[in-house]
Structure 1
Amino acid sequence: MDSPIWRWSAVETAAAIRQRNISCTEAVQAALERLRTANDDVNAITVDLSEEALATAQRADGVIESGMAVGPLHGVPITIKENTDQQGQSNPNGIPGFAHVMATEDAPIVANLRRAGAIIIGRTNTPEFSYRWFTDNPLRGLTANPWAADRTPGGSSGGAATAVVLGMGDIAHGNDLGGSLRYPAYACGAATIRPSLGRIAAYNASSTGERPPMIQLMSVQGPIAREVRDVRLALRVMANPDARDPWWQPAPMEGPRLYPPIRVALTEEPAGIRCHPSVAQALDTAAQHLERAGYAVEAVNPPWVADIAAAWRNLLMTDTQVMTAQAMREHGSDEINQVLDGYMAASQILDLNGYINALADRTRLLRAWSVFMETYPLVLAPVSQVPPFQQLEDLQGTERVRQMLDEQSMLYSINLLGLPAAAVPTGVVDGVPIGVQIIGPRFREDLCLDAAQVIETGVGILARQLWERES
């Protein structure tokens, strides 16, 4: 391969290290050099771990020289989001008042990545409390979209997506409560998978209490990468067991084979809201690639999306009001509290009876999708019904926040359902990436990634277009 090492996929880098074509130190040095040249313009990596990463790479080279067996990511440079415990590092979650919160042990996902041989080169930016589709906070500052400075890089894993698409690491860790893996991947032209609830263990020992119930049910950890094959590899590593998360399930990574043609439901107006023309074109592009590969794509809307979106808002904001709003009001900036006001205004804060009934009604919504997916195992849908937002657009007032929640209804509905969904780019429109998501049955991430791979093969690796603009 004659391209710079930082442009290689994680699969290629790991193979080259195992075959001794390059060293772990060379792979890490390439990523760190890219960090030094690219990060100042975007502020994606907020904690530079160069010294530690190089020392780890040298030890990893010693393992290769010894002939010992190595993990599937041995020597591959990665990043970790700054809301997840990494031993010896602070876990501020974008809050100046939490900058002193130090992790005494690795979160499950960090431990699994390290055991696989991955080398952490830095920690990535997140909004305050990881609660926005924009990545800005008073502790670390604003992260820019690498394609267009006037657009959001997404949130809350905006630093992760920006870093990986620019080549600062081959795999970026993120998490997804309301689209925080898929939306940054969409805005930055990367690929990702929002895994099923229970696929990847989650736990932060630095937290002072347990997570609110709906965050336990709706938030997941996962990878963002430039290529679908890297997402698949990272998912396997991240999904290893950890007893600290009782939600984790020992589900197989591949399910029973589905005989072709696999039927795909194409949803063009989720919750009755029409997609922007560029998003509609992205769906059409993805559908054409799937059809050429033998999938049977039909224009049909899945059930109850508007109800699911409303349930996500009402349940999550009720949880927030009870368990986290006081901390947000006390420690958060005026900006995050303005956004929180908008979320609250667009939601119904439930009393105990309402909360219990809404939580019980989640089963009806899950059942409807489960039955629907017996006929349509995959759903092709927008990540967002509009192109990536203008930077900090959620600060335009309560009514704009309400509109944005409507425009993202398909994005966060999947969190309430706990289903897997892959996001993959389909091209660039007006200078910014555009893409789609593919939703599958529970624990069938393999089906989602298979379809995403078909689309990526037809479209190409979008990050390469970004690199070409630099030359």
Structure 2
Amino acid sequence: MTDALWRWSATRLAAAIRARDVSCVEVMTSVLERVRAVNPQINALPEVLEEASLLAARRADDAVLSGIDLPPLHGVPLSVKLNIDQQGCATSNGAVALKDRIARDDAPVVALLRRAGAIPFARANVAEFSMRWDSDCALHGRVSNPWNAAYTAGGSSSGSAAAVACGLGPASIGNDNGGSIRYPALACGVVGVRPTPGLVPFFNATDSAERGMIGQMTNVNGPITREVEDARLILGAIMRETPDDPLGIPVGLAPSVPPAHTPVALFTGDGTGFAPAPRVRAALLAAARTLQDAGYVVEEATPPAFEEAADLWCNLTYDDRNRGGFDMLVQAGSPAVRTLVGFIQQRFPPREAAAALAGFERRLGLLRAWRRFLARWPLLLMPVSWDDPIRPDADIVSADGLMTLVRAQSPLLATSLLGLPSVAVPVVPMPEQGMVASRMAPFVTDGLPAGVQLVSWRYRETCCLDAAAHIRAPVRFPFADPLPAMQPR
């Protein structure tokens, strides 16, 4: 069991399949057995395509035996978030009203995965309409945090992160508009990559309308994995320009930057009015020390107009949704979604179009300021969130509570507004007073994992991944076993 195939990384599986050390059917069978054993406790994968996936695995084995050149992810099983089109499956986004919205074709990102040899074997659960930072949806129910059910698994790519943390496939594909890859990655202790917009195609033929202006600048698909090497491998496979996404950009990634003497800005919030929770601060300091040991030069620095950038994400995003998106959510959403929309509209009421246009103008000025900052410090080390993951439904208790959460999520929002690539990565935190080491894992303290976020300028994903690999290296991933779920001490 210690070396069961479901425990292997995508990179290791692909290499072993190519070397004929294991078969695709053996890999798929191992993962499906793990899904049957664990998924009922966490509800991460509400739709498992067992028969079709085993058939695809048999065909993949035939290809291996034929001696043809194999693509990089040949035979590797992974899951796909419920709000991404996958042929023959419902693009439900966790909403009862969309349960019969069946995709006739794969979204470009799924088609690219298949072209790379991967087998999309399951659909990953989401926060309803992918608009909550919690992990519940009306159609399939709540995704439980696999480490501690008293906390959220994050939103909105909650099923993807929880599945990967439990070994239900080595990787999953999620998406991120305001943190929907990185927040679940933090909550579940895995790696989440938000690419530069345009690098990975973003399109669903099932969508009833085109994305709004800010969505065109912020929405991205990206990988969620346990290992940084897997995130790098999968990103390379889905990083293509396709005709369905006219915003796609036909570029490659900027080359690696050697760690020796590379400046890293460490943003702890000191002097800004933002204060990281003890676990968050411990993770930042531990990550900074690891990077210093690797040769990076870490200096405390505050990115320009940070709070303004986060606030502008809220204003522009909710301007878009006030122009009709919220009406649909109120009509089709659950009581929880309607409550959340009401709180948002209380604090972000509709504005004149001129205000939104002025916001887009200001965004360009913020981009310029951050470009100068990231020229001085090519890498920014910062929190994913200023606070620990929330308790279930904490985002729908009150309008004041929502605003407190929005402020805590400002590291996610500011980077999303600016379209910057970032990687959320788990960290072994430096112990501080009051923090108790868990029996379960080196990076789980008081029942929760810890993590940080690495940010760079556009198309510098390699810079983020290289640094993330140093931070991830000391973490012995133990795999979450959600039975029995840990409770807070």
Q: TM-score range by the shorter chain?
A: over 0.9
Structure 1: how far apart are the matches of 2:256 and 2:229? Answer: 20
SS in 2 for 1:32: helix
Equivalent in 428, 448, 451 of residue 435 of structure 1: 451
Amino acid of the structure 1 residue aligned with 2:350: I
Aligned position for 1:378: 379
Shift of 1:333: 1.0
* 1:52-451 equivalence runs, <5 A: 52-255=52-255, 257=257, 260-269=260-269, 272-347=273-348, 349-426=350-427, 427-451=443-467
SS in 2 for 1:324: helix
Shift of 1:2: 5.9
SS in 2 for 1:137: coil
Structure 2: how far apart are the matches of 1:209 and 1:78? Answer: 28
Shift of 1:294: 0.5
Q: Which moved more, 1:44-53 or 1:234-243?
A: 234-243
> How many residues end up aligned between the 2 structures?
468
Amino acid of the structure 1 residue aligned with 2:274: I
Shift of 1:197: 1.1
Contact 2:256 2:462 in 1 (8 A): no
Contact 2:41 2:483 in 1 (8 A): no
Amino acid of the structure 1 residue aligned with 2:391: Q
Amino acid of the structure 2 residue aligned with 1:390: R
- Structure 1, gaps ≥5 residues long: none
Q: Which moved more, 1:259-268 or 1:384-393?
A: 259-268
Q: Which moved more, 1:268-277 or 1:415-424?
A: 268-277
Q: Deviations over 1:429-467 (max 9, x none)?
A: 211111000001100000000000000113x143x1535
Q: Which moved more, 1:312-321 or 1:249-258?
A: 249-258
Structure 1: how far apart are the matches of 2:161 and 2:65? Answer: 33
Tell me the percent identity: 40
Amino acid of the structure 2 residue aligned with 1:9: S
Amino acid of the structure 1 residue aligned with 2:216: Q
Contact 1:314 1:349 in 2 (8 A): no
Runs of 4+ aligned residues of structure 1 deviating over 6 Å after TM superposition are: none
Shift of 1:346: 3.3
SS in 2 for 1:45: coil
Q: Given the superposition, is the C-alpha separation of residues 196 and 461 from structure 1 closer, same or farther in structure 2, using an over 3 Å criterion?
A: farther
Q: Deviations over 1:70-117 (max 9, x none)?
A: 111100010000001001111111111111111011101100001111
SS in 1 for 2:193: strand
- TM normalised by structure 1 equals 0.97
Contact 2:259 2:294 in 1 (8 A): no
Structure 1: how far apart are the matches of 2:160 and 2:312? Answer: 28
Structure 1: how far apart are the matches of 2:390 and 2:410? Answer: 15
Shift of 1:141: 0.7
Contact 1:227 1:461 in 2 (8 A): no
Q: Given the superposition, is the C-alpha separation of residues 451 and 337 from structure 1 closer, same or farther in structure 2, using an over 3 Å criterion?
A: same
- Structure 2, gaps ≥5 residues long: 428-442, 485-489
Q: Deviations over 1:120-164 (max 9, x none)?
A: 111011122100111211111111000001110001000000011
Structure 2: how far apart are the matches of 1:155 and 1:453? Answer: 24
SS in 1 for 2:480: helix
Contact 2:202 2:220 in 1 (8 A): yes
- TM normalised by structure 2 equals 0.93
Amino acid of the structure 2 residue aligned with 1:414: T
RMSD over equivalenced CA pairs, Å: 1.5
Shift of 1:248: 1.0
Structure 1: how far apart are the matches of 2:101 and 2:245? Answer: 21
Structure 1: how far apart are the matches of 2:351 and 2:13? Answer: 50
Structure 1: how far apart are the matches of 2:324 and 2:190? Answer: 33
Q: Given the superposition, is the C-alpha separation of residues 138 and 468 from structure 1 closer, same or farther in structure 2, using an over 3 Å criterion?
A: closer
Structure 2: how far apart are the matches of 1:158 and 1:2? Answer: 26
Shift of 1:254: 3.5
